[in-house]
Amino acid sequence: MIKIILVAGARPNFMKIAPLMDAFRARPQIKAVLVHTGQHYDPAMSDLFFQQLGIPEPDVNLGVGSASHAIQTAEIMRAFEPIILAKKPDAVLVVGDVNSTIACGLVAVKLGVRLIHVEAGLRSFDRTMPEEINRILTDAISDVLFCSEQSGVENLRREGVPEEKSHLVGNVMIDTLLKYREKAEQSKILDDLGLNDGRPYAVVTLHRPVNVDVPENFGRILMALEEISREIPVIFPVHPRTRTMMRQLNLGTTSYHSEDTFSAHSAPPNLLLVEPLGYLDFLKLMAHARIVLTDSGGIQEETTILKIPCLTLRENTERPVTVEMGTNRLVGSDPRLIIQAYRDVSASFPKRQSFPVPPLWDGRAAERIADILELILK
């Protein structure tokens, strides 16, 4: 029997953990123990995803909650150490690049437990991003590294990771998307938002500190969104972090009109702020959008499979394959670039079916991971 502790902490982790739990359940020789750190703990960002993705109740919930990077990482480490000592796993598996990933990874290797990193090798080459630090450190201490795209394999080789440690297996997040895409079509979200008449619309997500914590950047992006909303509805599910900053910056009901001043009148009616959506609702909303604007890494991948044009509101991406496939374009926070890219994409929208799919993004990444782990850990 191989005992593996799987760690989930934040929303992007849940879509990656779900197919792995399925693959491990299908193998009697693997016993999976699920630990939820509680990094995302509200119903919209955690509980609903577990329910919709069929993830079993966690065996352990550390209930850490939000805090600064240092405090949150330290609290996760403090709470996770007794779990490893009690469960005595053969390996700990972490996914992605959140604080839970590096915190639990450090605890595992310091206790002599093998560490597995799923979604290894991704690099934005921007060390101002906390996620980049988490990625680099987790890969440096991992025993087994599973890559979602070829750039990850190449980055690990450049960093001196032995070739036998890394494996190109595909993208577990895409496993989940392909499994639930048909079910997501049953969602009534378009009816709820008044978008069931076939009108084109845009979807926006924002949560990166560089975009939402810096008033100048946030304002510039909002100015672009307001301009786009004059042409098509813009649906903006607001991340809890982003909503907090909007309140602090008094942006909840304002529109941005220049690089220096905010206006106090109401936001345009076609810019619709909504609460965070569950996985199935958001998947349907994305799948029928004319365009998606985001600073999320995972959404860059999901739109690539959905063949929906994506404008990434960042200067870099750790998922270059999405740019190579033609679905994704980096536009930063410059409103002129955002608006021009939107118009370019709108003009070429019918051509989207020509976008190719990255290698091994076929819904079987978790099965490949399970197969390899059976051989390595037996």
Active site residues: 207
Collect all residues with Cβ–Cβ distance below 8 Å to 140 and sequence separation of at least 6. 159
Report the Cα 134 to chain-centroid distance in Å: 14
Report the Cα 357 to chain-centroid distance in Å: 18
Of 176, 129, 152, 125, which is closest to residue 16 (Cα–Cα)? 176
Q: Are the C-beta atoms of residues 293 and 338 closer than 8 Å to each other?
A: yes
Classified as helix, coil or strand, 353 is helix
Collect all residues with Cβ–Cβ distance below 8 Å to 109 and sequence separation of at least 6. 115, 141
361 dihedral zone (left: phi>0; alpha: psi -120 to 50; beta): beta
Residue with tokens 């329910």: 51
1-21 b/e with 16+ CB inside 10 Å = b?
A: ebebbbbbbbbbbbbbbbbbb
